Chains A and B, each alone.
Chain A
């Protein structure tokens, strides 16, 4: 018992001040929202790229990348479109959002960085957002992976089991477009070809802050 108390004191409080306080600054090599300007004025689809360092793209340090509409993932010079706050989602789920995660292919790194939101650092539960075990208890699903042929049926069954009204979130390049697996006959070309998607969170995998930022914008906790 003493050991536990001692270690509690030693470990201290570790939860981020974000979003009330300042967002932490990610390391210089972090690859966030691509820069489309000047010489690099080529439209970039954040839903398709895998944020590789050798893809000929210049990346910024901005981790806020989630959008509401698929077409808004395509970056053009001078435009920044983020999550569009929907009144019905805010009213319904603004204070309590229960989600069921469905892993449908992919490499498990998106899942790992969603799981991280449960650690004391991010502490997702303080925003009333929680991952639940049953789709029957959920207000929506969070899908990762390129939706393999072998997972499509289970994904649709899980979606059907969530009571209406419900939301759908696609996390990671694979769920958005097939990502690095795009072109394989075993996977689909994006969740929005199968289900209506309310929130797209790009990345390979997205940084936990990108995912958190996306969720918080969806429920209106971040509005800037």
Chain B
């Protein structure tokens, strides 16, 4: 069935394909011009587990949903991951959440270490034991002079937990396996029923640095299921906040990249400038991460004329400051020498892995929800795509630099022309037995939320895909063949979310 970003569809309208049809459709379509943006299971009681695959056609701004059913007496299907690399982590997730085995999966390990959602026997033993993450086998390399380095879950800095297992020969990294799951809070399962106000707060806590992006996606799902959309003015205000969020994070990342390359001036300045953008969010929403701004039906805070002028005045100053400091960073030969050629990914590999966001655009993949699947404000006010060609740390830094400039120009253009009108309109209840999808280009890349309602109009299933879910494996592959000392820099250039992945 075809639909668009922000669209909805009656569950009964989604055909159930046989396993072989489903498999062929998904793989064939992804080999031509579609890509897999979400793939998840849903409990259908005695009927089994229904698998839904969402495909995106970026050229046509179209989405397609396919489904099949896995019976309970034989909870298994033939894995797609061998033919379709982008399905790899989705299949591990389905196996863990629903105890459904993808047969022939290349490396079937748990993702988040929790027992399954349908109360069946888990595929892996001891899933409810106390100390699980890291207790499973890691990919091992054998031979003379090969050694293993384990890092985490508690890292040296103030960052989230995750375990990294490097297989090395001397300084050279032969393989890196990333084991996450320490941040698993069970968000998807908590979004069950009708309490959308509470769920909106949960969506803000999927990844705190992407509060705006995830809450925007959540609100659009609820609005779509209610058969409405937020007032135009609210959509504009959400977009302003989304771009401020992007600015804060990109500027912070550029500072951190300079720091990891050993260049402190720019990192001090960028570190402070990141705070400037967070303080703008504080001024608008009362929270430095924009928590509390979006609720289904609109936004809770307006930007009046005076605040708009104030914003533009400040942003013009910040733009000049950013130009100065990024020039300082990018004209530094010692920094550029450190950035170039580290953590390279080819366009082909990045495409196969299904990377999204700046990491994909740094490999010259034209992929940006604001352009490909534009909804709301981006249908009327375009933002040019920022690409780089080399696929290394330098390219990922360069894409961020360009995106900062373009977001600033975008904001300076739209804030003075915010449309008049309401910022919030109460919604009708969500319609029963429907499915809605929403995509948002967060600062890390594509956020995809899918909500399914049951007979009483409450959520029976909510699926969240954070951009990090696609990109973590990209980091593993990018560092392959590099040196351990390159890892912090390469890691920072991706700057992925642990909590967004772990949910």
Contact = CB atoms under 8 A, between A and B. Distances in A.
Interaction A to B: yes
Given A54-B292, A101-B158, A119 B287 contact: no
Given A3-B328, A180-B205, A111 B275 contact: no
A14 to B, nearest CB: 6
Given A3-B328, A29-B301, A154 B154 contact: yes
Contact of B158 (A53, A103, A205): A103
Contacts of B353: none
A115 B158 contact: yes
B283 A153 contact: no
B265 interface: yes
Given A29-B286, A150-B132, A186-B184, A119 B268 contact: yes
A131 interface: yes
Nearest to A187: B185
A184 interface: yes
B202 interface: yes
Interface string A199-211: 0000011010000
A212 B194 CA distance: 38
A106 B206 CA distance: 8
B325 interface: yes
Interface string A33-77: 000000000000000001111100001000000000000000000
A224 interface: no
Given A106-B208, A119-B268, A181-B190, A150 B113 contact: yes
Which of A10, A26, A154, A207 has the most chain B CB atoms closer than 10 A to its own CB?
A154
B222 to A, nearest CB: 15
Given A31-B287, A186-B186, A107 B331 contact: no
Interface residues of B, number: 62
Contact of A31 (B153, B268, B286): B286
Interface in B182-202: 182-187, 189-190, 197, 201-202
A185 B205 CA distance: 17
Interface string B276-318: 0001001111111101100100001100000000000000000
B209 interface: yes
A186 B185 contact: yes
By Cβ-Cβ distance, the 7 closest A-B pairs, closest first, are: A109-B208, A107-B208, A29-B286, A133-B156, A186-B186, A107-B205, A119-B271
6 contacts: A14-B272, A27-B279, A31-B286, A131-B157, A151-B183, A153-B130
